[in-house]
Amino acid sequence: MQGSVDSGSKPLLEIRGRAPVAGSFVGAKIVYELPNGETGVIWFEETAIPTDATLTTTQAQETIPKGSVIVEGEAFLIQAASTQLQRGACAVRLSVGDHTVTQGYLWQGRWLLDMLNPEVLGPAVGHGNHRTISIANPAAGTDLSILDTVPADAIWKPRGFGGFTLVTSADAGSRRVRLEIEDGTNVMAASAPSADHPASVTARYWSALGTHPSYENDTTVVTDSDVQIPMPDILMFEGYRIAITTDNFDTVAAADDWTGGFLNVEEWLLI
């Protein structure tokens, strides 16, 4: 049970969401007990869950009287059948002044959190929201480099990538492709380099979490086919980024040419 409210406060509901489409809402209520033993309830109006992971805040119209004790805090999901949320896609925090009454994720219906055993935001609570991020085609002669960077409001776990095709020029020299996870400065994890990708060869690169490279023998040569790159199993925090680097990449006029693809991540939004 929360301690008494030091001064009269209007409760605040904070929502950070990435709903698949518009049409889902969050409601909330707080039950408090007055010094004389009577109870009161404050309800929040339904607030739309954002689709772009922005933070939405709603303040209750009523004030919890000074000296009251918070008995219960509840947030609940009002969800259209066509907009099912995955865990991690809608983070919620309900607070009164400096007190966090309840905090966690809304998904698959009504949700009530025991204030004595709060649910931890982040990967500790299970699978997050699966996202597919499209990566644009870089100009010919430009290596793929940074694919995407984790924003301040999220934690990512990379799940795989695909659709990336490298067409090498006729210039001699074997290219080798690797995937790296960086913290913004340092390389935190990296795949082994691919087999030699020679001149005048087109190959599509892809990855899935937990897989192993099919080119463990370094004498293997990439041909016109698919090439598998292992995806590191690592949590990525604010500022971390995923990069693809290519050794001996040709940047002259008859340049190597990457085609952009997609990146799959598991995401937990944060407040």
Identify the weakest region by mean pLDDT among 43-47, 62-66, 127-131, 220-224. Answer: 220-224
Q: Is the pLDDT of residue 122 over 60?
A: yes
pLDDT above 80 for 158: yes
Confidence (pLDDT) at 78: 83
| Distance between CA atoms of residues 192 and 138, nearest Å | 23
Check the CA dihedral 193-195-201-206 and report its sign: negative
pLDDT above 90: residue 166: yes
Structure tokens at 198: 């020679």
pLDDT of residue 114: 43
Can you tell me the mean pLDDT for 200-213? 74
Q: What is the rounded CA–CA span in Å between residue 144 and residue 163?
A: 13
**Average pLDDT of 23-46?**
91
Q: What is the mean pLDDT of residues 188-202?
A: 90
pLDDT band at 169 (very low <50, low <70, confident <90, very high): very high
Q: How confident is the model at residue 8 (pLDDT cuts 50, 70, 90)?
A: confident
pLDDT tens figures, 11-32: 999 999 998 888 889 999 999 9
pLDDT of residue 136 exceeding 90, the answer is: yes
- In this predicted structure, the answer to whether residue 210 has a pLDDT above a threshold of 80 is no
Distances (CA, A) of 242 to 101, 137, 161, 183: 36, 16, 10, 9
> Does 212 have pLDDT greater than 50?
no
Q: Which two tokens stand for residue 182?
A: 């960086």
Residue 93 has pLDDT above 60, yes or no: yes
More confident residue, 6 or 86: 86
pLDDT digits (tens, 9 = 90+) for 247-263: 999 998 778 999 999 99
CA distances 226 to 210, 215, 223, Å, are 17, 11, 8
pLDDT of 1 reads: 43
How distant, in Å, are the alpha carbons of 18, 19, 71, 76 from that of 23?
12, 8, 31, 14
Domains of the chain: 12-122 (no CATH), 129-269 (2.60.120)
pLDDT at 117 over 50: no
Proportion of the chain above pLDDT 90, given as a percent: 45
- Please report the pLDDT score of residue 108 as a whole number: 64
- Give the other-Cβ count within 10 Å of 245's Cβ: 17
Instruction: Give the dihedral sign, CA 108/109/114/115.
Output: positive
In this model, does residue 236 exceed pLDDT 90? yes
End-to-end CA distance of the chain: 22
User: What's the rounded Cα separation, in Å, for the pair 25 and 75?
Assistant: 11
Is residue 219 over pLDDT 60? no
